[in-house]
Amino acid sequence: MVRISASGYVEAEAEDACGEGDGTMVLLKLIMSGALTIAIFGGLLFLPAGTLHWWRAWVFLGVVCVATVATYVSIFPGNEALLNERLKGPIQQGQPLADKIVTVALVATTFGLIAFIPLDVFRFRLMGEPGVLVSSLGLVLFVAGWWIIALGLRENAFAAPVVKLQAERHQTVIDTGVYAVVRHPMYAGGILFFVGMPLWLGSYAAALLASVPIATVVARATIEERFLRRELAGYDAYMARTRYRLIPFVW
């Protein structure tokens, strides 16, 4: 009896230690990912601006920081498999060639859009500066887009950053929550993100330039659906149930 009890205690202690280790590793990944996100936004905004005296950019980074922490805390603890998927690179095994090309284009156009904003605000001034009402609306759109993306992550445990079939994770069709409204809610949120960010930061020209990454997102949605119809059981039926790709009652 004593031996069984001692063995049980040791096993429980080992499980607790393993759980603590896993929790520490998840926390470390979250901190590193969040810091990288802030660093990328900060570098792409302030380096081309050539100055740190840009209050709208500081407010923007504060919103990004709060949104990042809120997203991570509400979604990833207890869901390390999704976190690991989200941290993988833009080029992966099993990803169709078309998506590799579009993914690289999406990363490049997104970074280019962010870097263009300070160039226009501080140097080009191509189309003037939005007024307070329009720029405030831009911040609302940005936050709304981030929130929709977060809802998509919360609903879809298979939300990898690339198009692929996750057979090892027994991937299934997700048709609940925001996925019952549109088939690509995270891309829909990204569109609001792309438009809202330059409006808040003060560039109509950059808001117009956002059409480039948005077009890339649209192309990627088409590639993804073609792939999933072929590879993922039940996706055809899901498309029949959920008619709209990105915008309810429009497309």
CATH of the domain at 34: 1.20.120.1630
- Domain annotation covers residue 224: yes
* Angle 209-184-192 from CA coordinates, rounded to 5°: 35
- Domain annotation covers residue 246: no
Domain of 182 in residue numbering reads as 2-241
**Distance of alpha carbon 213 from alpha carbon 68, whole angstroms:** 21
- Domain annotation covers residue 250: no
- Domain annotation covers residue 31: yes
Residue 236 structure tokens = 């055809």
State residue 21's pLDDT score.
Answer: 52
pLDDT in tens, 163-206: 999 999 999 999 999 999 999 999 999 999 999 999 999 999 99
How crowded is the C-beta side of 231, counted as CA atoms within 13 Å? 16
**pLDDT over 80 (residue 15):** no
- Domain annotation covers residue 156: yes
State residue 18's pLDDT score.
Answer: 43
Instruction: State the total domains in the chain.
Output: 1
For the chain, what's the residue count? 251
**Distance of alpha carbon 144 from alpha carbon 141, whole angstroms:** 5
Output the average pLDDT for the chain. Answer: 90
pLDDT in tens, 100-157: 999 999 999 999 999 999 999 999 999 989 999 999 999 999 999 999 999 999 999 9
- Domain annotation covers residue 248: no
- Domain annotation covers residue 149: yes
